[in-house]
Amino acid sequence: MKCHEVDYKIFGDDMQIVEVELDPSETVVAEAGAMNYMEDDITFEAKMGDGSKAGVGMLGKLMNVGKRVITGESVFMTHFTNTGAGKKRVAFAAPYPGKIIALDMAKINGDLLCQKDAFLCAALGTEIGIAFTKRLGTGFFGGEGFILQRLRGDGMVFIHAGGTVIKKTLKNETLRVDTGCLVAFTAGVNYDIEAAGGLKSMFFGGEGFFLATLRGTGVVMLQSLPFSRMADRILQHAPSGGGSRKGEGSLLGTLGGFIDGDNR
């Protein structure tokens, strides 16, 4: 396996973009809708599959499409190619506040498992597949940790995490984390979903019914703010129907409505 060799720069702090520099005929593959801007002579094409296996027949492409449907991603991936004579750049934006993590797959034995919505883009030649938890029974109730994306290759891969990124190195150790806080982990780390303790802890502990358990030797990357958690908070504090407004306190909320003219 030999992926295209791409250079890159990451800009920004909490709403980052990654700018990928392509030599003539080099290609980067991205999720549909991730592109932010591109220079002249960069052409793009939506294709079925990641393009990692040249000459794959229609049956193979359909199987790959089926895997992407299971993960909830678009059927197509977008391939951006430099068709000019000099170096050209194309940039991809993170979908929500957080960090973009650049990974050289050749330095992590060419194998990475990540949450199904973490992948942003990668050098052409990277294989983008899926992996399931070992215990399907608990997997169906494990939420975000049930289906993972598997990335294989020897080039650059860019994934996205919400909030702050925490890197943990395990040496024959065990780490238990919220299923939504897990971003990615390398080969050598065994992954499973297990119940989060007794019934009282599961129902009243506020940590969910299941936790991701990681055992072995390798690198684990965590995020401080999963998108699902942020979305839940936004929905929880969103105004109810009819244009009504909810403040931190009912009196302050009412006064605020009078000040900005929201009270009718």
CATH of domain 7-233: 3.60.160.10
**Contact assessment for residue 190 and residue 217, using Cβ atoms and an 8 Å cutoff:** no
Tens digit of each residue's pLDDT (9 = 90 or more) over 204-245 = 555 556 788 899 999 999 999 877 777 777 777 777 654 444
Tens digit of each residue's pLDDT (9 = 90 or more) over 79-103 = 999 999 999 999 999 888 889 999 9
Domain ranges of the chain: 7-233
What per-residue confidence (pLDDT) applies to 135?
54
Note the pTM of the prediction, 2 decimals: 0.78
How many residues in the chain? 264
DSSP letters, 34-70, are -EEEE-TTEEEEEEES-S-STT--HHHHHHHHHHHHH
Mean pLDDT of 28-57: 84
What per-residue confidence (pLDDT) applies to 89?
97
**Partners of 115 in beta bridges:** 148
Q: Is 6 helix (H, G, I), strand (E, B) or coil?
A: coil
Separation between Cα atoms, residue 148 and residue 151, nearest integer Å: 10
User: CA 150, 60, 29, 7 torsion: positive or negative?
Assistant: positive
What per-residue confidence (pLDDT) applies to 77?
87
**Contact assessment for residue 9 and residue 102, using Cβ atoms and an 8 Å cutoff:** no
